[in-house]
């Protein structure tokens, strides 16, 4: 699909979600048929029930992680949430920065921004704001505005990820960092999945191969990249069979390929300042990995997407 087609599809899908008052669908699936009612599978979304600052009215179950959990947000910080939706992560961040901080949400879907503004009006926060705009071109956000950038299952929807992460680098203060939860894949996804328009709005077809995704982050200038959390996403067979035949489905399930939710942390350092030393001495290239969101296998050390524990520094230049 062309860039403008993708953006139109995403706006239409998420605009419909924003208008639904009583959601009864899972994660990135919309009411128009990304997932049919009754699909029994592991949702991409994470439970926020015990998270301080959580506002149920702002939670549309569209995320795939909990980026604020590992974002190291401090009282008084300025936090920018990319693809802020109805304001779920914005309000969680607001509970951390307090009265002296500032939280900005940006979203390209007008209906989402309207719903977020309505939620904030009820809550009465004076240091929370929502902007209509695109992540690839955040004209309303000045250089070095944010101490912390967060995002939850949105960057995969952005057609030009190179430009998006370049913008993230621009709006971050020197010494600042981001915590981004997103969908990536390892290995190869079948062509039928990658080309399915409804799965683009469902956060899957727009996903990047993990190594490429991390390489884009490195190329934007970020250092000390670390995969803090990861979780395997299992799509139901009946959904996959809408885009694959039986042979393709079996081949995919028996391969080493998979779709994952990952939460990535990275820093914007002063020019010329080296990052923390790694075993490979590859400043900014080695991707350290931490805990999983759920009790699945622990990830090994990963250098630009290489998940082999034994092979380190393979992409270091």
Which domains does the chain possess?
Answer: 3-270 (3.40.50.150)
- 57-61, 107-111, 161-165, 190-194: least confident range: 190-194
What are the DSSP calls for 276-307, one per residue?
---TT--TTTEEEE---SSSSPPP--EETTB-
Single pTM value for the model: 0.81
| Distance from C-alpha of 201 to C-alpha of 44, rounded to nearest angstrom | 14
More confident residue, 299 or 135: 135
Convert the pLDDT of each residue in 285-317 to its tens digit: 445 555 444 433 334 334 343 333 233 333 333
pLDDT band for 10, please (50, 70, 90 cuts).
confident
Residue 287 is predicted with a pLDDT of: 52
Q: Could you tell me which of 90, 80, 76, 153 has the C-alpha nearest to residue 120?
A: 90
Residue 274 is predicted with a pLDDT of: 60
Tokens found for residue 144: 């070095």
Convert the pLDDT of each residue in 119-129 to its tens digit: 999 999 999 99
Percentage of residues in the chain with pLDDT exceeding 70?
A: 74
| Distance from C-alpha of 112 to C-alpha of 107, rounded to nearest angstrom | 7
| Distance from C-alpha of 317 to C-alpha of 310, rounded to nearest angstrom | 18
Is residue 36 scored above 70 in pLDDT?
no
| Distance from C-alpha of 49 to C-alpha of 27, rounded to nearest angstrom | 15
In contact, 62 and 34? CB cutoff 8 Å: no
Q: Distances from the Cα of 303 to the Cαs of 228, 280, 300, in angstroms?
A: 14, 9, 10
| Distance from C-alpha of 199 to C-alpha of 226, rounded to nearest angstrom | 27
| Distance from C-alpha of 105 to C-alpha of 88, rounded to nearest angstrom | 10
Phi first, then psi, for residue 34 (nearest 5°) are -60, -45
Residue 289 is predicted with a pLDDT of: 52
The sign of the CA dihedral 69, 75, 80, 86 is positive
Cβ within 8 Å of residue 81, ≥6 positions away: 89, 90, 93, 103, 104, 105, 106, 149, 150, 151, 152
| Distance from C-alpha of 111 to C-alpha of 95, rounded to nearest angstrom | 24
The sign of the CA dihedral 197, 201, 202, 207 is positive
Convert the pLDDT of each residue in 99-115 to its tens digit: 999 999 999 999 999 99
- Count CB-CB contacts under 10 A for residue 37: 10
pLDDT band for 269, please (50, 70, 90 cuts).
very high
Residue 201 is predicted with a pLDDT of: 53
Percentage of residues in the chain with pLDDT exceeding 90?
A: 52
- 47-51, 62-66, 132-136, 240-244: least confident range: 240-244
Tokens found for residue 8: 């139109």
DSSP letter at 207? P
């Amino acid at each position: 699909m062309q860039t403008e087609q993708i953006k139109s599809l995403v706006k239409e899908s998420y605009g419909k979600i924003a208008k639904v008052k009583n959601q009864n669908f899972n994660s990135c699936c919309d009411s128009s048929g990304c997932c049919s009612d009754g699909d029994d599978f592991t949702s991409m979304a994470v439970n926020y029930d015990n998270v301080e600052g959580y506002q149920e009215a702002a939670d549309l179950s569209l995320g795939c992680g909990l980026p604020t959990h590992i974002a190291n947000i401090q009282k008084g910080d300025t936090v920018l949430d990319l693809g802020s939706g109805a304001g779920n992560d914005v309000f969680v961040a607001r509970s951390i920065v307090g009265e002296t901080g500032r939280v900005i949400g940006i979203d390209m879907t007008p209906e989402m921004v309207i719903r977020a503004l309505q939620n904030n009006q009820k809550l009465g926060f004076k240091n929370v704001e929502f902007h209509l705009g695109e992540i690839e071109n955040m004209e309303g956000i000045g250089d070095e505005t944010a101490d912390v950038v967060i995002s939850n299952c949105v960057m995969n929807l952005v057609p030009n990820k190179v430009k998006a992460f370049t913008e993230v680098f621009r709006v971050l203060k020197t010494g600042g960092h981001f915590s981004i939860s997103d969908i990536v894949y390892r290995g190869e996804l079948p062509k039928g999945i990658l080309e399915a328009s409804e799965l683009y709005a469902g956060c899957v077809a727009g996903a990047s191969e993990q190594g490429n995704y991390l390489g884009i982050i490195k190329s934007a200038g970020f250092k000390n990249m670390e995969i803090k959390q990861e979780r395997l996403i299992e799509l139901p067979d009946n959904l996959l069979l809408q885009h694959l035949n039986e042979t393709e489905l079996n081949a995919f399930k028996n391969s080493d390929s998979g779709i994952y939710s990952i939460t990535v942390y990275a820093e914007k350092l002063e020019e010329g300042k080296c990052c923390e030393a790694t075993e490979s001495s590859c400043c900014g290239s080695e991707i350290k990995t931490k805990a999983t969101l759920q009790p699945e296998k622990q990830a090994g050390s990963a250098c630009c997407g290489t998940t082999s524990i034994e092979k380190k520094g393979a992409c270091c230049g």
